A and B are shown apart, each in its own frame.
Chain A
Amino acid sequence: MHTLTGVYALDALDNAERDRFERHLRRCQGCAGEVRGLRETATMLAVAVARQPPPALRDRVLAAIARTRQLPPVEQQPRPEPRPVWRTRLAVAMAAVCLIAALVLGATQIATQRQLDRAQARNRAVAAVLAAPDAHILTRATSAGGAVAVVVSRQRRMLVVTAAGLPPLSAAKVYELWLIGAKIRAAGLLPAPAAGRAGPVLVAGLRPGDRVGLTVEPAGGSAQPTTTPIVVVPLRA
């Protein structure tokens, strides 16, 4: 399969082979890198034969675009193996999620000054993790569908978890987070996903070597996991 990078870059596969190779490409990081370089090379072959089309074409094209509607951008879906650009976008999306969470809290759930103070403190803590100089983001697909994103700050020994695309659960069940080190520590419940999104959840008390796990537990949560994690995110040392 791997040696098809060249013929793929030149569009020299028939449609069926092309589809098959593109499926392979999604799983093969090495191939994708090579294909990028070879495609840029093919572009040089195109630029090398550049020739000006008849001037009338310009007018026709400009007239045509004036009556042609453009496609909207593709909305980013979580993918199992995100590229760096996706991570950046996710970080932006997460910042937006934080804001929305704050607004929702402000509008619907806050009855007392004390609740407001608590919500604001929580948002500040989330923002502090996101803004920490050593913060980095990790994402993993879950076996139940969707993906979780974890922003870790080792300095603050905290992390922030959000999830997107998790399947909704019945009222009798919840998503629960775990810090998995020498012992497994409960790290809080993930709020029920709304419009596929859940979190941000702030987790403190991170220790070196910890991993983050997510399980489905009976409502109210458990002291120790009772099911197999749908995702475990190793945190880079």
Chain B
Amino acid sequence: MNTGDMRTPQPDPGPREGRDQDLEWLLTRVARGEQAAFEAVYDRLAGPAYGVIRKVVRDPAQSEEVTQEVLLEVWRTASRFEAAKGSAMTWAMTIAHRRAIDRVRSAAAATQREHMTAHVALADDEVAETVEATLTRERVRRCLGSLTELQRESITLAYYGGYTYRQVAGLLGVALGTIKTRIRDGLIRLRDCVGVNW
């Protein structure tokens, strides 16, 4: 067709945005019970979900269990996703991170946590298997590097360590109010550095 030949290439929205929209569209199909759409969603979400859950939970078998719960939750509650409130990836990662935290916090209540000094840096031994993850990982690493040490430490302890900010304050020996504002200031800097459009 002529119009097809004449068409100039669309400006690339960037792989992340393009794929996020794709994920949102897939979720609406999952909400209607389409299992094929869910398989595509699984392939998008399993890596980031398992990655962040492993960071927080650490034990591989338990991490797998939590990841399964999270993906099942995505299937079950796909109709509750609201695009106005945030991206589909964020919706899913919020479920994943909260589940991981529930797991370690309830475990911590029973027994003292084994890894009180969590290794929370972005370790090199972890394999990011998609181009998207590799790019994001490099960008996040660079941006985390631009924060002050206290900002970086408190953010990584809270997010990857799964600690409450009170626990973070205790671990770092810093006042509560200071941790609260350092985390906020650091996240805002990180947001501006990684270029989140929200």
Contact = CB atoms under 8 A, between A and B. Distances in A.
A14 B109 CA distance: 13
B62 interface: no
A45 B160 contact: yes
A73 B81 CA distance: 9
B72 A13 contact: no
B187 A62 contact: no
Contacts of B39: 62
B191 interface: yes
Nearest to B127: A51
Interface stretch (A31-39, A107-115, A203-211, A216-224): A31-39
A120 interface: no
A30 interface: no
Contacts of A84: 84
B158 A12 contact: yes
A5 interface: yes
B21 interface: no
Most buried by B among A36, A49, A58: A49
Contacts of A128: none
A72 B140 CA distance: 37
Interface string A15-51: 0000000000000000000001111111111111111
Interface residues of B, number: 79
A61 B67 CA distance: 9
Contact of B84 (A9, A43, A83): A83
A236 B101 CA distance: 46
A164 to B, nearest CB: 19
B137 A48 contact: yes
A41 B136 contact: no
Given A37-B198, A49-B122, A60 B68 contact: yes
Nearest to B81: A73
A65 interface: yes
A134 interface: no
Contacts of B101: 11
A40 B194 CA distance: 10
Contact of B89 (A38, A43, A58): A43
A191 interface: no
A157 to B, nearest CB: 32
Contact of A52 (B79, B87, B129, B183): B129
Nearest to A56: B64
A54 B86 CA distance: 29
A73 B30 CA distance: 12
Given A6-B184, A42-B97, A12 B85 contact: no
A180 to B, nearest CB: 32
A57 interface: yes
B187 to A, nearest CB: 5
Contact of B52 (A3, A37, A49, A60): A49
A74 interface: yes
A6 B35 CA distance: 36
A52 B46 contact: yes
B150 interface: no
Given A44-B196, A49-B160, A52-B129, A36 B76 contact: no
Contacts of A170: none
A13 B165 contact: yes
A135 to B, nearest CB: 21
A92 interface: no
Contacts of A64: 68, 72
Contact of B46 (A3, A7, A9, A57): A57
Contacts of A5: 184
User: Which 8 residue pairs are nearest across A and B when measured between Cβ atoms?
Assistant: A6-B184, A48-B140, A53-B50, A50-B47, A46-B52, A12-B158, A50-B133, A73-B79
18 contacts: A3-B180, A10-B155, A11-B162, A13-B164, A42-B159, A43-B87, A45-B155, A47-B140, A48-B137, A49-B122, A52-B127, A60-B68, A62-B42, A68-B72, A70-B77, A70-B79, A72-B79, A73-B31
